[in-house]
Amino acid sequence: MSDTIEARHRKEQKDLQSTITSLKKQATKKTRKNVNNKCLDLQRDLDEKHKKELNELNGVSTQDDFSPEKLLAQLELEKTEQPEQPEQPEKTEQAKEAKPKRNRAKEKLAKRKAEIEAIQAQARLELENSIDYKKIEQDSMNQILSLQNLKVFDIRPDGHCLFASIKDQLHERHQLDVSIDQLRLDAAKYMEGHKDDFEPFLFDPDTMQQHNLTEYLQELTTTAMWGSDLEIKALAHVFDCPIKVFVAGASPIHFNSEASLPELKLGFYKYSYGLGEHYNSLRDI
């Protein structure tokens, strides 16, 4: 199993290098910086994926397909099923002095109890050594927002979260009311008119394929597809304003920073929400 996974990892790394080389060759002077950043993201994501798979492969697994809950339940059952031993009448002095009979049920019970304690100890050890990425991210974001005099306006975590966050920011900072559907259409229209700025980034690391821009924009405008940096960049130009995205443990990401209208402010979360990557709107305190 280990050899198979390592072989697949080597192939995926080789394929990714080919893809990165291809993307860099397609980059223009104007898009080279963004292409390089995208390549770094792809490499980091693949490395994290491989590390996670190897950790899972090398993790501690239990034998005999039992869990602590199952064993505890079985222990209780065995306690109730053990029959009480009736008192035996005294027979002879020899019987009184006979060696006690080995209690195999009691030995089995003690063995299983030891197994449960071992599993619980291992679970406690793993919990102590595990990294709580959610807490780290939230603590970092809280510190960043406090320094910036910002507060989170929670957005529903779904495929529309980026556009819902920008919708709230436009209302708060530009006094504009724009629907989520309209924001998707506006982003698609801008991307269609500036293909060279967006096509190099339409790469799917899961399928290792380049997206067709027309198909991508069709999905963007007709489904609840998650938004990304591409849509943020497009909408920053549509509304002629800077957009700043705050990220835990990193410097903010700036889009269209030279624009003159009030800046929109978003928070990006990777670990804090069950569905994965998420955007919230950040309002002034």
- pLDDT tens-digit profile of 213-262? 999 999 999 999 999 999 999 999 999 999 999 999 899 999 999 999 99
Domain locations in the chain as residue ranges: 1-58, 133-284
DSSP 224: -
Between CA 199 and CA 30 the distance in angstroms is: 13
Q: How crowded is residue 150: how many other Cβ atoms within 10 Å of its Cβ?
A: 18
Identify the pLDDT of residue 8: 79
HSE-CB for 201 with a 13 A CA cutoff: 21
**Fold classification of 133-284 (topology level):** Cathepsin B; Chain A (3.90.70)
b/e map 6-41, b = 16+ CB within 10 Å: eeebeeeeeebeebbeebeeebeeebeebbeebbee
- Specify the higher pLDDT residue, 207 or 223: 223
Identity of residue 264: L
Percent of the chain with pLDDT over 70: 79
DSSP 160: T
Q: Which long-range contacts (CB under 8 A, 24 or more apart) does 119-125 make?
A: 119/62, 119/67, 119/68, 119/71, 120/68, 122/60, 123/68
Q: How crowded is residue 76: how many other Cβ atoms within 10 Å of its Cβ?
A: 10
Q: How crowded is residue 199: how many other Cβ atoms within 10 Å of its Cβ?
A: 17
Mean pLDDT over 40-55 rounds to 83
pLDDT digits (tens, 9 = 90+) for 10-36: 888 887 787 777 777 776 767 777 777
Question: CA quadruple 57, 59, 65, 70: dihedral positive or negative?
Answer: negative
DSSP 155: -
